[in-house]
Chains A and B, each alone.
Chain A
């Protein structure tokens, strides 16, 4: 396996160590209610370090999983024009219905919000994780770690989150970068904020005034017709 895979293994080992440090065996037992050991079926085999490194490319907001590597805005720009711009546009403005990556700052309360990496995404790690696993579309997992760092740096630049085209993103400075919309996300609270939807006695008779039609899908006329489905042999 490559050097980068080895580096990744080291990084992952560090994450796991960080997660478990300081917990004694007694605390571990207290931490989980299912104290009784599960019956093992003896199925499966041990995953090798090389296999784990090959598949475990995920990256978290705390930097866990970041491989060693680096790339500049300039390098990212060149790569982006070559591998990404045909769908995302030269400056991340999007071509056709392909995702827009840049702009949209301040539009989230607007009638038509523009949800881009810069205006909406809360974590930079998501950008790295996603490019690494799924981009370029149709040729996934073909980019080196340095290329992913460079592309991530360019996306930061197109959103004015970094201003200098000489800026280099790497595993050391990665977690220092904060995304503009990070603070705008909150955990699901529907069971309290929408508590009034739990209603023991929903109305059955004379519940509202006579309704009037205020909008019609047929007037918008964007429904595919009955002939538009794929041909079935």
Chain B
């Protein structure tokens, strides 16, 4: 059988930025012959290929489908030096390999604090206690008998781009921006469950708690809980993946991912926040003056060009598609601007596909490239009028030690050979 994987892998590796490509002139394809001109015949067309002659797999081969073997490089990746243990760590969505707005479930980045809890849904219980009229316990069957909603939301880790505060560090948008995913959730508005238990009037905060070995817990203001928070059991039409909280997770639209407690087992109502580890020692933003901002729940508007990017360099002169993602925790994305010259001049990108509240949007710029060096940037503008700031403007107000909530404008340098790299500009 003809197998082009090895050739394709080789080509991909040649373009992967980290492999010391500086100066290595990547071959750009020549402009193909136009209709009517002389062209060389391709054996791919003139010869009968194996897949055209022989039978392929039958319907019994893959009861649960998986991507083509030619897509085997499209995977979540981690950065081993970041954390002490893979069970309390993070991996990254391969944004440069994806399109549209929905992240495939198996490529949604993972962040765990004590590994993936493996729970039989028949053994899962959700308790609501604290400042309620009647503390209750629900089974998964109970929850699936409640009125359902379907919503598409992005989930971004507050630490997304957190390694980039002091300057360009990781060479790939998978690593700089890949702690985000965007899926359709099916579940029950949290208000439905809270109404069953009956909130006491002095219930101002909830504490959400996971059933994992970290017992992940976070405090959530009641106004948000009653507004648009969901308790979800499905993503992209099927049960949640184990690593995304199977069988039950919290969905806190527009707010930092750490609040979206997975393997959700308990909700306690109280009259003040709990000041848990994840809302004090972590997920607080240390500023240059030594003070720390807390309860920074909302994810500011942000965008990134996913193609070209270091893992997805330009391969052709002439016609090209620039593509990217934009999102805002405050509402919808109103506009995305793209610059090819490091922020000197901007043009408005074309948004295609659904524009939904607290969901990513997909944007494109169709352009011709003659091989000149580009400094590509994108900036999102949301429905509240917030404009994504430059990295320097963000550093002016935050310093470089806040780790979280880095939504500064990313710059990709595209070299004349098409290689693309993560740079800081000044």
Contacts and interface: CB of A to CB of B under 8 A. Distances in A.
Interface of A: 16, 19-20, 23, 27-29, 31-32, 34, 38-41, 43-47, 51-52, 55-56, 58-62, 64, 87, 96-98, 108-109, 113, 115, 117, 120-123, 125-126, 129-130, 133-134, 137-138, 140-141, 184-190, 193-194, 197-200, 202-218, 220-230, 232
A205 B198 CA distance: 56
6 contacts: A58-B274, A113-B401, A207-B343, A207-B345, A218-B21, A229-B77
B345 A204 contact: yes
B224 interface: no
Contacts of A64: 270
Contacts, number: 298
A29 B75 CA distance: 53
A109 B422 contact: no
A123 to B, nearest CB: 5
Interface in B368-426: 375, 379, 381, 384-389, 393, 397, 401, 411, 413, 421-426
A194 B293 CA distance: 13
Contacts of B77: 224, 228-229
A164 B282 CA distance: 29
A98 to B, nearest CB: 5
A198 B389 CA distance: 9
B171 interface: yes
B202 A31 contact: yes
A52 B417 CA distance: 63
Given A60-B270, A204-B345, A217-B169, A51 B137 contact: yes
B131 A20 contact: yes
Given A32-B201, A216-B421, A227-B13, 18 more contacts: A31-B202, A34-B226, A43-B146, A47-B128, A55-B127, A55-B129, A58-B276, A122-B275, A122-B280, A129-B276, A140-B214, A184-B292, A188-B296, A215-B167, A217-B423, A224-B78, A225-B13, A229-B73
A217 B84 contact: no
Interface of B: 12-13, 16-22, 72-73, 75-81, 83-85, 87-88, 113-114, 127-131, 134-138, 142-143, 145-146, 167-172, 175, 192-193, 195-202, 207, 209, 213-215, 217, 226, 265-266, 268, 270-272, 274-277, 280-281, 284, 286, 288-298, 300, 310-311, 337, 341-347, 375, 379, 381, 384-389, 393, 397, 401, 411, 413, 421-426
A212 B426 CA distance: 5
Contact of A62 (B83, B145, B272): B272
A154 to B, nearest CB: 18
B142 A134 contact: no
A177 B137 CA distance: 36
Contacts of A113: 286, 401
B346 A218 contact: no
B137 A207 contact: no
B295 A213 contact: no
B129 A211 contact: no
Contact of A204 (B277, B280, B300, B337): B337
A149 to B, nearest CB: 17
